[in-house]
Structure 1
């Protein structure tokens, strides 16, 4: 009986233990479930944070790639400009060689002129009397002085043209050396000013004009002669047009630069942290550029009344990144603008284009100088031809004068000359008021003696 009691008691104790263990296990499992749910929520939160970080990392990676692409484009521009500099340097060397050869030819011509003039003058001086030489020296000097002045002016123009070529080459080399630094400076200024001008439309317009003005100053073009700002023109229908900048080109042509494109959507995009909002702002940015292209095309700047414009207009965007981002979002944007005779440019490629225009103007000036030199050389040769004709005429007159002189002297001193007749008249008692020249009398006597001797010889 006692044994049975202890057995039942043991069974009850084991059952109580199992029930307690089960209850404790259920509680532990519930706690584990709650902990597991909390851990799952924390994992989801960490995954969301990781996703945001990954999105930001992709954005930063994209910005890095864009910046690297811009840098590569600028390096390509610099390499292109360096190649153009080498070409211009070679052209400049050819011009210098040509000018040097022309100068040597001119010096050789001067030497020949001088030698021929000297020989001609010596022949004239040797053949004529001192009095006749003194009378005609002034006339020869009057003929030679204009030619001497023309040769001096010609030499001066050649030296000035050569000096200008050297200066232009040096200036172009200096500008190319600083071009990379200037492009980086413009990009940095554009980035800083973009942050500072958020939301101020009037200030943005002034800032865009300031960037354009700075690029014009760096281009080397002369304001008022090679470009003008805010000049008014009359359209085909009599309407008033006022482009931001007009760049004049040789041959009475010009090109237009417009800088009124709106960058409000781009600025909002830069300062937005919401990806969806950024996508919407990018579309607005591209659409704003397209709308401006359409409006600019309707103005028909290339057909301004009384002018000879190129067939396209430059649409200037002062922020390089805004220009590149728009082309990245809309691959057809550049072609769309080109079909409407509009070319979109940023600070770097606009500066390179204007540098090229400045170089064209310099070559135009050099070509005009060369033409003027050729015209002066032609005038000099014409003057020399006239001089030769006059010298020939002068020689003919001198020969005729010599012949008349000799004929006259024969009349005075030859056979049956007037002097002997005058002497015989004097022996008859006629006294002249003035005595005859002794030299002529002596020459007449010598001639008479020679005639007598010849007569005796012939008689014998």
Structure 2
């Protein structure tokens, strides 16, 4: 509804009010008054109808505008809410996508790992079977005393080779000899020591009881087998002491090294019989394992190196003495040569003196008598004024019969 319509309505109301006041005041009467009133009411009715129509149209228009504004506001609100939801949902959606991709990667990796694990289990099973077969073969092999002895000797030779002592090794297994009592026993080998001595070595591998101890699961039975292993090693010590190798082999040390080809073999025996080490020493038997025997070899090797250095130093000293003698002889010859040169110079100068005093005067007389026709006058040689130099160092040297300090 606009201002003009509102003003017109107010005016109509004022007219109707004035008319009503006039009628009430008695200023109109009868039919004329009624006619005027009817006319006014009709005019008012028409105007009211027109005004109502306009008002309804205006209200309808305003209602449409309000509805449109409400729709626009609703759309804007919905857009804001949708944007807010989008801002909330997008990080979650992105995280869910990352989680989904990670799950897919983990699933792929899991499949690969399952395949790898399957292959590893298969390979492990095959290796376990091979190991079991090798263990059984090793058990069967080590059950033979001859094979155990050969294994111990190979261990000995490997350690000697690693210590660089091969050239000082003497293998008695290849030398079969019989002593006065008919005994053909010999140690496995010996190592030469400076001073023309030999260190005797014998390998022993008492493994029968130890292998049984490893195979049983009963603790009491295992302890019994370990005790038997220590007793077997003690028996080997006593047997080796009875053979008395130091008395049978010349230039040998007064003890024998008993080599056990396994550190744990010896450790287990000593853990059951701690007194075994001292007992063996009292019988001139030294118990060694690969680690301790290798240390002994290194000590002997160092001794040989010191011996070689001493021998080399002695050889150098001998060569120095010989060189000095030869140098002294050469200097003697040089001194003689100097004296001979001086003697030759003196003889030459004596000859020149005789030449000047006896030959030249006669030659001058012949030249003055023109017996030479003036050709080829005599050219006199110059005397030698240089003498051979005598070295002051030669005077300081000791006599040739003396040796340098």
1:359-398 correspondence runs (5 A) = 359-398=302-341
Q: Aligned partners of 1:372 and 1:359: how far apart in 2?
A: 20
RMSD (Å) for aligned C-alpha atoms: 3.3
Question: Are 1:259 and 2:212 counterparts?
Answer: no
- Seen in structure 2, the aligned counterparts of structure 1 residues 196 and 216 have a Cα distance that, compared at 3 Å, is farther
Q: Which residue of 2 aligns with 1:314?
A: 257
Q: Which residue of 2 aligns with 1:440?
A: 380
Q: Which residue of 1 aligns with 2:168?
A: 226
Match of 1:420 among 361, 377, 400: 361
Greater Cα offset, 402-411 or 372-381: 372-381
- Seen in structure 2, the aligned counterparts of structure 1 residues 192 and 369 have a Cα distance that, compared at 3 Å, is farther
Q: Unpaired segments of 5 or more residues in structure 2? A: 1-134, 384-405
How far off is 1:341 after superposition?
A: 0.9
1:418-455 CA distances to partner (integer Å, 9 max, x unpaired)?
34246657989999xxx998223999xxxxxxxxxxxx
Q: Which residue of 1 aligns with 2:145?
A: 201
**2:261 alignment partner, SS class:** coil
Contact 1:261 1:292 in 2 (8 A): no
How far off is 1:358 after superposition?
A: 2.3
- Seen in structure 2, the aligned counterparts of structure 1 residues 194 and 322 have a Cα distance that, compared at 3 Å, is farther
**2:258 alignment partner, SS class:** strand
How far off is 1:337 after superposition?
A: 0.8
Q: Which residue of 1 aligns with 2:267?
A: 324
Match of 2:301 among 352, 355, 358: 358
- Seen in structure 2, the aligned counterparts of structure 1 residues 236 and 247 have a Cα distance that, compared at 3 Å, is farther
- Seen in structure 2, the aligned counterparts of structure 1 residues 441 and 267 have a Cα distance that, compared at 3 Å, is closer
How far off is 1:413 after superposition?
A: 0.8
Match of 1:349 among 281, 292, 299: 292
1:71-95 CA distances to partner (integer Å, 9 max, x unpaired)?
xxxxxxxxxxxxxxxxxxxxxxxxx
Contact 2:226 2:272 in 1 (8 A): yes
Q: Considering Cα pairs closer than 8 Å and 6+ residues apart, tell me whether 1 or 2 has the greater RCO.
A: 1
- Seen in structure 2, the aligned counterparts of structure 1 residues 406 and 291 have a Cα distance that, compared at 3 Å, is same
Q: Which residue of 1 aligns with 2:397?
A: none
TM-score, with structure 2 as normaliser? 0.53
How far off is 1:238 after superposition?
A: 6.2
Q: Aligned partners of 2:377 and 2:367: how far apart in 1?
A: 14
**2:198 alignment partner, SS class:** strand
How many residue pairs align between the two structures?
Answer: 245
Q: Unpaired segments of 5 or more residues in structure 1? A: 1-190, 444-460
Contact 1:246 1:254 in 2 (8 A): yes
Contact 1:234 1:304 in 2 (8 A): no
Structure ranking higher in helix proportion: 1
- Seen in structure 2, the aligned counterparts of structure 1 residues 436 and 241 have a Cα distance that, compared at 3 Å, is farther
Q: Aligned partners of 2:192 and 2:382: how far apart in 1?
A: 85
Contact 2:149 2:205 in 1 (8 A): no
Question: Are 1:273 and 2:217 counterparts?
Answer: yes
1:297-353 CA distances to partner (integer Å, 9 max, x unpaired)?
222222334x31112111011121121121122222111111111100011111121
**2:204 alignment partner, SS class:** coil
Larger gyration radius, structure 1 or structure 2: 2
- Seen in structure 2, the aligned counterparts of structure 1 residues 351 and 236 have a Cα distance that, compared at 3 Å, is farther
Question: Are 1:299 and 2:240 counterparts?
Answer: no
Q: Aligned partners of 1:411 and 1:238: how far apart in 2?
A: 97
- Seen in structure 2, the aligned counterparts of structure 1 residues 348 and 442 have a Cα distance that, compared at 3 Å, is closer
**1:439 alignment partner, SS class:** coil
**2:165 alignment partner, SS class:** coil
How far off is 1:387 after superposition?
A: 2.0
1:37-436 correspondence runs (5 A) = 197=141, 199-222=143-166, 225-229=167-171, 230-232=173-175, 235=179, 237=181, 239-305=183-249, 307-414=250-357, 417-421=358-362
Greater Cα offset, 229-238 or 255-264: 229-238
Contact 1:231 1:242 in 2 (8 A): no
- Seen in structure 2, the aligned counterparts of structure 1 residues 241 and 334 have a Cα distance that, compared at 3 Å, is same
1:133-179 CA distances to partner (integer Å, 9 max, x unpaired)?
xxxxxxxxxxxxxxxxxxxxxxxxxxxxxxxxxxxxxxxxxxxxxxx
